[in-house]
Amino acid sequence: MAAEDERKRERPATENDAASSDDDLGPMPMPASSDEAERIKRRKTLQHEKLYLDHLPCAERYYKSLMHRDTINFVNVTPHTDFVITTSVDGHVKFWKKQDTGIEFVKHYNAHLAMIVGAAVSADGAYFASIAADGSVKVFDVVNFDLIHMLQLPYTPRACAWVHRRGSVDAVLAVAEEHSTSIHFYDAREGTEPLYSALRVHKKPCHLLAYNDRYDCIVSVDTGGMIEYWQPREPFALPDGVFELKSTTDLFEFKKTKCIPTSLTFSPDFEQFVTLSASDRQVHVFHMQRGKLLRKYDESLTAAQEMQQAGSTSSQLDDIEFGRRLAVERELDATVLPGPTEAVPNATGLATANAVFDDSGHFVLYATMLGLKGA
């Protein structure tokens, strides 16, 4: 055996052995071309490159979020200037620009130290204002997304609205007090004292303010559910071009049902306005000039259950998923007060739910337990 092993070791290599050896080594890399070698040779090393690389984030996923860190309570879309402005309960304001496909982040402000309880955009889309529970007011130039004025109020604000017409040289901001019926009007570009005040338009504190540019009229709602039409200047009378007697209108609807709307939004042509009341989940559409109720949509949980059992919903859910959503909605209902009594609860939870018109003014959009609905 020893002799045979010796002969195998002394046997000369053959072509098959050479091929086998090449297979073990694998394919050899192609030599670099002269141009590529020259490029590699001329590569410049960035100054402090190693330092930069050593300090790169080492997490498996690294990204920068542009979203809010806390619950969003107000979303405003500016007319004519195409900005979206969002606010959150932690006092932050963010500007976004509408694009052909989606929106683009523009600027972020840590605007308030307390909760934001109200926000408003002017009729021309040029100004935005936010008010907070600590009495601070911030005024922004929308087109330049710049903070242009600040106010510190001696009272707690509850609602605000811009009350100057499109194209006006004035910039007047109306702010309602939380604990009284007073509504004060400020020059939003300078000064800290109110220009004038409306003291007795409502018998209870004003809860919602909205300005109609077409009729030069403020439509406001107090904490008792009463809706009022009035001009934003003394003597704060009923504007021209609308009903003469309030008794001929349906503006007592919320007083009768003892529900308070949480939002009031005008259509693009200012001929209609839509309200949503969170306590009973009712959506009302009113005619602005006549004050008549045009449409009423019942989105209560009782109505949703009846439609689910009858199988008449447009998007039928299975019983398990419907029960899960119903439990979530009931939990949200438990956070809604029968009537908004303070500015802070009024700016959280379902109390900031709203209904809006689309750009055409023919459809009303609002959120339900089944998803976003258009009517």
Tens of pLDDT, residues 64-108:
667 888 888 899 999 888 999 999 988 999 999 998 888 899 999
Q: Which amino acid is at 365?
A: L
Confidence check: pLDDT of 344 > 60: no
Between CA 354 and CA 224 the distance in angstroms is 19
Which one is predicted more confidently, 29 or 227? 227
Is 155 a member of any domain? yes
Same-domain status, 140 and 237: yes
Is 18 a member of any domain? no
Hey, what are 110's tokens? 């840590």
Same-domain status, 184 and 323: no
Same-domain status, 115 and 227: yes
How confident is the model at residue 339, as a pLDDT? 46
Mean pLDDT of 246-263: 90
Is 207 a member of any domain? yes
Between CA 284 and CA 273 the distance in angstroms is 8
Total domain count, the chain: 2
Between CA 154 and CA 140 the distance in angstroms is 21
Same-domain status, 136 and 176: yes
Under 8 Å between Cβ of 227 and 217: no
Tens of pLDDT, residues 136-146:
999 999 999 89
Give the angle 300-303-306 at the CA atoms, nearest 5°. Answer: 150
Domain endpoint, select from 205, 227, 242:
242
Share of the chain above pLDDT 70, in %: 81
How confident is the model at residue 40, as a pLDDT? 56
* Of 6-15, 81-90, 121-130, 242-251, the least confident: 6-15
Is 50 a member of any domain? no
Confidence check: pLDDT of 21 > 70: no
Between CA 147 and CA 142 the distance in angstroms is 9
Same-domain status, 87 and 190: yes
CATH number of the structural domain spanning residue 120: 2.130.10.10
Tens of pLDDT, residues 232-246:
998 999 999 999 999
Hey, what are 349's tokens? 């939870």
User: CB under 8 Å to 363, separation ≥6 — which residues?
Assistant: 357, 374, 375
Same-domain status, 217 and 275: no
- 305 φ, ψ to 5°? -65, -40
Same-domain status, 229 and 300: no
Tens of pLDDT, residues 324-334:
988 888 887 77
Between CA 156 and CA 344 the distance in angstroms is 10
For every residue of 277-335, DSSP letters joined together read ETTTTEEEEEETTT--EEEEEE--HHHHHHHHHHT--SS---HHHHHHHHHHHHHHHTT
For residue 214, the enclosing domain spans 75-242
Under 8 Å between Cβ of 153 and 175: yes
Using the structure block, give the residue that is written with the tokens 């003597």: 235
Gyration radius (Cα) of the chain, Å = 33
Same-domain status, 174 and 320: no
pLDDT band at 249 (very low <50, low <70, confident <90, very high): very high
